């Protein structure tokens, strides 16, 4: 019916089908030659059907193109432009594909275009085990698609922060894109986790561990640690472990052991080791990279853990801060938290190479500090002018109050260090070596960017009200 139809096939449909084939082949390659081949055959059959559909669609598309080539090209409509841009849309780093197995339907035609073929069909009844395998196979496919999407997000976020480091984009763009991607990833992960809980209600293991163990089994090697290089997993499975975010999960799980209700974790400076930002990470071994990540992440985790107990109400919150604060309360390590922690480390590694000639000598916090000081000076000039020039009649007193709140936020968080102030007032104020001023913000570039975005939006909103 498709081949005989006079309707042109949008290229976006063909592109989606090809992407589905690519994903299916990627997942099938994990299971070829292993275990029961029944589901693998079903999976391969679905791929074959999709490839045949693509051949039909390609023939129809090329045929239409040849006919249209004889005529002068008409101006493109908005719909045609949308179809032409479909390929670039599908390459969007945040695009997620969910493929459902098609159900057979029967249709009748009054005059068949092609002669009917008689096919001998043998009916095979599935038992409960086969149905369970089929369900688990679909769940594994969905999980691997999620991990692939998370990998694409991670690459895109790394490119974004490299562009900020190289002064191609500003801090606000990098931070907003990152936080939006993390929130999207959180929603996607929750959906897959819910499917795993429904399929395996008695198993409490995080599904990223299940995927990793399947990868280890398929490789036919041991999943034990490579202790000789200080790696808590097999060095030959490093790529698969990183793809499943096993390293960050191991670090978070190990930190969970020191979390106790009613207590805050406090460590001596350098307890986990000393971080050298000048070290060349590219030349490090797998064990050295893991150890450096442990130093960075475990050194700042206590700061995330104290945000709720000390009632530290940040001027704006990012997904990572919220997630790690929840982790300190629930002590649960989920896939998304491992992914978000890896993004935090990736940004940290990219910003370590900030050139000395950059507009922000202290990285992201330097950008935030310069903008905050500039805004604070503007606010002080405004109130100085208000002493000699009365406010316009249309300007409400509420406007001045909002301006003072912004100025107070700048003085408390950017010029001063509100976190260190609240820490010194608490019971842990005299324990350990006090952190450096603004240490939390200086290590959290994403939060700096969101704070800067929030600050500028509030200033802009009040400025527009004053002018109009």
pLDDT per position as a tens digit, 245-261: 999 999 999 999 888 87
**Distance of alpha carbon 209 from alpha carbon 103, whole angstroms:** 32
Element (H, E) at 138: helix 128-165
3-state SS of 384-446 is HHHCCCCCCCCCCHHHHHHHHHHHHHHHHHHHCCHHHHHHHHCCCCCCCCCCCCCHHHHHCHH
Region class of 245: left (phi > 0), else alpha (psi between -120 and 50), else beta: left
**Distance of alpha carbon 179 from alpha carbon 208, whole angstroms:** 22
pLDDT per position as a tens digit, 24-33: 676 666 555 4
- Residue 352: the pLDDT is 85
- 170-179, 398-407, 424-433: range with lowest mean pLDDT: 424-433
pLDDT higher at 178 or 19: 178
**Distance of alpha carbon 63 from alpha carbon 176, whole angstroms:** 45
pLDDT tops 70 at residue 421: yes
Rounded mean pLDDT, 176-180: 97
Cα angle: 427, vertex 431, 434; to 5 degrees: 110
pLDDT tops 80 at residue 214: yes
442: β partners: none
- Residue 95: the pLDDT is 42
Tell me if residue 85 falls in helix, strand or coil. coil
pLDDT interval class at 97 (50, 70, 90): very low
pLDDT tops 80 at residue 267: no
**End-to-end alpha-carbon separation of the chain, Å?**
61
- Residue 9: the pLDDT is 67
**Distance of alpha carbon 224 from alpha carbon 216, whole angstroms:** 10
**Distance of alpha carbon 273 from alpha carbon 278, whole angstroms:** 15
**Distance of alpha carbon 165 from alpha carbon 449, whole angstroms:** 13
pLDDT tops 70 at residue 118: no
On whether the CB atoms of residues 176 and 88 are closer than 8 A, the answer is no
Closest CA to 148 of 24, 319, 293, 18: 24
- Residue 334: the pLDDT is 94
pLDDT per position as a tens digit, 67-88: 544 455 555 554 444 444 444 4
pLDDT tops 60 at residue 99: no
* DSSP alpha helix (H) spans, 200-334: 207-219, 238-243, 246-256, 286-305, 319-330
Percent of the chain scored above 90 by pLDDT? 38
Tell me if residue 231 falls in helix, strand or coil. strand
Radius of gyration (C-alpha) of the chain in whole angstroms: 28
Tell me if residue 226 falls in helix, strand or coil. strand
């Amino acid at each position: 019916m498709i081949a005989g139809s006079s309707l042109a096939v949008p290229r976006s449909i063909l592109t989606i089908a090809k992407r589905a084939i690519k994903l299916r082949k990627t997942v099938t390659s994990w299971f070829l030659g292993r275990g029961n081949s029944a589901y693998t055959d079903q999976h391969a059959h679905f791929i074959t059907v999709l490839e045949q559909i693509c051949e039909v669609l390609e023939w129809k598309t090329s045929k239409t193109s040849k006919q249209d080539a004889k005529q002068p090209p008409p101006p493109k409509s908005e719909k045609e432009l949308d179809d032409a841009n479909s390929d670039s849309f599908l390459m969007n780093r945040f695009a997620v594909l969910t493929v459902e197995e098609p159900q057979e339907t029967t249709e009748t035609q009054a005059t068949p275009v092609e002669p009917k073929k008689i096919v001998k069909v043998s009916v095979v009844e599935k038992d409960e085990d086969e149905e369970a395998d089929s369900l688990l196979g679909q769940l594994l496919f969905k999980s691997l698609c999620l991990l692939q999407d998370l990998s694409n997000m991670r690459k895109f976020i790394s490119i974004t922060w490299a562009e900020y480091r190289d002064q191609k984009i500003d801090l606000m763009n990098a931070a907003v894109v990152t936080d939006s991607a993390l929130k999207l990833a959180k929603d996607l992960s929750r959906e897959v986790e819910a499917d795993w809980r429904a399929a395996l209600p008695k198993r409490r293991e995080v599904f990223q561990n299940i995927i990793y163990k399947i990868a280890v089994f398929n490789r036919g090697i041991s999943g034990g640690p490579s202790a000789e290089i200080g790696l808590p997993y097999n060095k030959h499975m490093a790529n698969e472990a990183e793809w499943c975010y096993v390293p960050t999960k191991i670090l978070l799980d190990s930190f969970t052991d020191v979390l106790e209700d009613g207590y805050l974790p406090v460590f001596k400076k350098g307890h986990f080791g000393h971080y050298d930002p000048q070290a060349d990470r590219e030349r490090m071994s797998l064990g050295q990279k893991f150890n450096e990540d442990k130093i960075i992440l475990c050194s700042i985790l206590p700061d995330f853990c104290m945000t709720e107990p000390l009632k530290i109400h940040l001027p704006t919150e990012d997904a990572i801060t919220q997630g790690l604060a929840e982790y300190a309360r629930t002590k649960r390590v989920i896939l998304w938290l491992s992914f978000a922690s890896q993004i935090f480390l990736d940004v940290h590694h990219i910003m370590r190479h900030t050139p000395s000639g950059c507009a922000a000598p202290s990285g992201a916090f330097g950008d935030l500090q310069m903008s905050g000081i500039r805004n604070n000076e503007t606010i002080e000039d405004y109130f100085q002018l208000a002493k000699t020039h009365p406010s316009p009649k249309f300007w409400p007193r509420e406007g001045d109050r909002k301006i003072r709140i912004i100025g107070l936020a700048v003085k408390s968080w950017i010029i001063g260090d509100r976190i260190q102030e609240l820490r010194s007032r608490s019971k842990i104020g005299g324990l350990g070596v006090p952190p450096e001023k603004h240490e939390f913000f200086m290590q959290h570039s994403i939060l700096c960017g969101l704070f800067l975005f929030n600050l500028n939006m509030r200033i802009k909103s009040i400025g527009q009200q004053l002018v109009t």
